């Protein structure tokens, strides 16, 4: 004994179309039987059942053939199909908007939580630490940069302290400056390291230059956060003048950090 078909919901556009199609099929009598329809129209039993179970819309061409075989009006049914297709698209858009709103709320809550307590990051013991002798402004600014990178879609490894510091250097954003004051200097790796030494007391050794370039700057470039050699795009790869700059779009977004709009703008930036 076969399984009973699941009841159809007339409020669902796909189900409503199937309900009406079933009525046409039943009125067709023998012409609407599965074997006769599949043979004449050229569809499989699986496809036939999917239509009548409200799982998919028939294609336009095959719908026209089926309706003719069942004695229906093709023009009417093509119009019904367009109506169902439009309703399905609108419902999908509404679900997407609701999902984005839920995600925005979750991001905002996570952002507020992280502002109060940022988890300690792993794997930092081998790097020099920011001087902690009462310098809360430096630590707070680094934490803000890490949260910003996280909201922009960077994972834990790419939003670590090193990445946050490099971002701050590329913005020339000191501990006491406002995010709205961020700049867009063009800097070489060695200049980034020098700026961090002066502004944040972070003394990266010369042999870490390649680590900063490979594991932070190149990650920023791949994500579109930073551009390479904006002053000379065809610069040779081995040139000592190889440089980096925050993209205009990312700069405009980061200047809004700390405002009520930042979380929503960060979400839009990621799409």
What are the domain boundaries of the chain?
13-95, 126-270
Contact 179, 148 (CB under 8 A): no
pLDDT value at residue 105: 66
Burial class (CB in 10 A: 0-12, 13-18, 19+), 8: middle
Cα–Cα distance between 44 and 224 in angstroms, integer? 47
- Calculate mean pLDDT across residues 67-74: 92
CATH homologous superfamily of domain 126-270? BsuBI/PstI restriction endonuclease, N-terminal domain (1.10.10.1820)
CATH 1.10.260 fits 13-95, yes or no: yes
Residues 6+ apart with CB under 8 A from 70: 24, 25, 27, 28, 31, 32, 37
pLDDT at 133 over 50: no
Helix/strand/coil for 117:
coil
pTM (2 d.p.): 0.54
For the stretch 77-121, pLDDT in tens is 999 999 998 888 888 878 877 776 676 666 666 655 555 544 444
pLDDT value at residue 172: 95
Contact 114, 159 (CB under 8 A): no
Q: What are phi and psi of 84, to 5 degrees?
A: -65, -40
- Calculate mean pLDDT across residues 31-57: 88
Q: What is the separation of C-alpha 110 from the centre of its chain, rounded to a whole number of angstroms? A: 17
């Amino acid at each position: 004994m076969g399984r009973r078909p699941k009841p159809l919901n007339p409020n669902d556009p796909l189900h409503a179309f199937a309900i009406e199609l079933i009525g046409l099929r039943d009125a067709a009598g023998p012409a609407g039987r599965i074997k006769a329809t599949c043979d004449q129209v050229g569809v499989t039993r699986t496809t036939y059942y999917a239509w009548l179970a409200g799982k998919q819309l028939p294609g336009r061409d095959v719908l026209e053939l089926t309706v003719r075989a069942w004695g229906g009006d093709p023009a009417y049914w093509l119009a019904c199909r367009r109506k169902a297709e439009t309703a399905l698209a609108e419902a999908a858009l509404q679900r997407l908007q609701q999902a984005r709103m839920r995600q925005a709320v979750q991001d905002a809550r996570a952002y507020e939580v992280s502002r109060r307590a940022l988890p300690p990051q792993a794997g930092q013991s081998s790097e020099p630490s920011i001087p902690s002798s009462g310098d809360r402004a430096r630590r707070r600014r680094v934490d803000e940069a890490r949260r910003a990178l996280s909201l922009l879609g960077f994972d834990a490894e790419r939003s670590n302290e090193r990445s946050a510091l490099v971002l701050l250097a590329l913005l020339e954003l000191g501990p006491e400056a406002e995010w709205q004051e961020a700049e867009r200097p063009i800097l070489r790796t060695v200049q980034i390291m020098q700026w961090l030494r002066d502004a944040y007391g972070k003394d990266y050794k010369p042999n870490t230059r390649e680590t900063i370039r490979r594991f932070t700057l190149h990650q920023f470039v791949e994500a579109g956060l930073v551009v390479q050699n904006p002053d000379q795009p065809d610069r040779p790869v081995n040139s000592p003048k190889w440089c980096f700059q925050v993209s205009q779009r990312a700069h405009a977004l980061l200047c809004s950090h700390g405002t009520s709009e930042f979380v929503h703008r960060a979400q839009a930036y990621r799409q």
